C-alpha cells in the first residue's frame, strides 16, 4: 500500500490535554518516524512536531482524533514524495 510522509504540527495551549494527546499518539506509534516537543514557557504553550509515514486514511484519522482534543491545535503538511 502506498504511504505518504507528513508532518503533524501540534500547539498545546492547555496542559490538561497532554495525557489524552499522548494516549492518542501512542496508538499510532507504528507509523511515527520521529517526534520533537518544545515547551515555550514564556508563552505558556508547548509545540510538538510528529513525522509520520502512513497511508492517507491513517494520517487523517490521527490528525482528526488529535483535532478533537480540547486545548490543542493541529495542522498537517504533506510531502510530495509518495512511496
What is the DSSP secondary-structure string of 22-78? HHHHHTTGGGEEEEEEEEETTTTEEEEEEEEEE-HHHHHHHHHHHHTSTTEEEEEEE
Instruction: State pTM to two decimals.
Output: 0.89
The tens digit of pLDDT for each residue in 17-61 reads: 999 999 999 999 999 999 999 999 999 999 999 999 999 999 999
- Grid coordinates representing 29? 506509534
Q: 31-59 as b/e, with b when 16 or more CB fall inside 10 Å?
A: bbeeeeeeeeeeeebbebebebbbeeebb
Amino acid at each position: 500500500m502506498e504511504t505518504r510522509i507528513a508532518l503533524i504540527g501540534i500547539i498545546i495551549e492547555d496542559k490538561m490535554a497532554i495525557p489524552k494527546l499522548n494516549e492518542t499518539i501512542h496508538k499510532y506509534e507504528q507509523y511515527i518516524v520521529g517526534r520533537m516537543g518544545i515547551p515555550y514557557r514564556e508563552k505558556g504553550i508547548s509545540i510538538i512536531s510528529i513525522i509520520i509515514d502512513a497511508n492517507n486514511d491513517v494520517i487523517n484519522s490521527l490528525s482528526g482524533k488529535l483535532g478533537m482534543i480540547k486545548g490543542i491545535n493541529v495542522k498537517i503538511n504533506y510531502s510530495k514524495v509518495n512511496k
